[in-house]
Chain A
Amino acid sequence: GQQVMQIPQYQHVQEGEDFTTYCNSSTTLSNIQWYKQRPGGHPVFLIQLVKSGEVKKQKRLTFQFGEAKKNSSLHITATQTTDVGTYFCAGGGLEAYNTDKLIFGTGTRLQVFP
């Protein structure tokens, strides 16, 4: 079946260090979305990428969609304690380009130590 994998599963960093999570799909995606889930909370939408090779920035967060539209990354520069949470990528269009079906990645849990 369709799979969206993320690495690493966990990441502990010192405040101020950078952080990157990688997302890989078994099939070509029509779009990739990123969500953040704070501990005990629900996922909240961060951004969507649609074009091959697309790069988008939100303050200290940089999102990239691979040229083959099968992988993506999220990079956080100079992490802060407010960045703590689990980051999920979610792929649309894995199955016959069915963009109604959004498959979430396995998630990367980020812990930031002050």
Chain B
Amino acid sequence: SQTIHQWPATLVQPVGSPLSLECTVEGTSNPNLYWYRQAAGRGLQLLFYSVGIGQISSEVPQNLSASRPQDRQFILSSKKLLLSDSGFYLCAWGTGGAGGELFFGEGSRLTVL
């Protein structure tokens, strides 16, 4: 069966520090991968999605970046965090296309101080 792992679960970072969130999927090949951000009490904002290795689509101009170095690995990064980067970051995978429901990881709660 397919599983998705996301870490770290919680982190507190100072403004200006770097960020790296990692997500891996097991039990499937060539998945679509997604990073969403959820501000407190708000909806899900699509940040990046990837349909294959090295293929990244960026949805929102920001100081975040994403990379997909391996088929089932998706990394969200920042060189210098801002206060506004605080939120709940969710990685998800899907099969893509019209039948593509998403399966979410447990999420990473980031607080920037």
Contact = CB atoms under 8 A, between A and B. Distances in A.
A106 B57 contact: no
B102 interface: yes
Nearest to A97: B98
A93 B57 CA distance: 15
Size category of the binding interface on chain B: 20 to 34
Contacts of A42: 90, 104-107
Interface in B86-113: 90, 94, 96-107
Nearest to A46: B101
Contacts of A44: 104
A71 interface: no
Contact of A101 (B46, B90, B101, B103): B46
A33 B101 contact: yes
A99 B107 CA distance: 23
A101 B94 CA distance: 10
Interface of A: 6, 30-31, 33, 35, 42-45, 48, 50, 88, 90, 92-93, 99-107, 109
Given A43-B104, A48-B101, A92-B100, 16 more contacts: A33-B101, A33-B102, A42-B90, A42-B106, A43-B44, A44-B104, A48-B99, A50-B98, A88-B43, A99-B97, A99-B100, A100-B100, A102-B94, A104-B45, A105-B43, A107-B44
Interface of B: 32, 34, 36, 41-46, 49, 51, 57, 59, 90, 94, 96-107
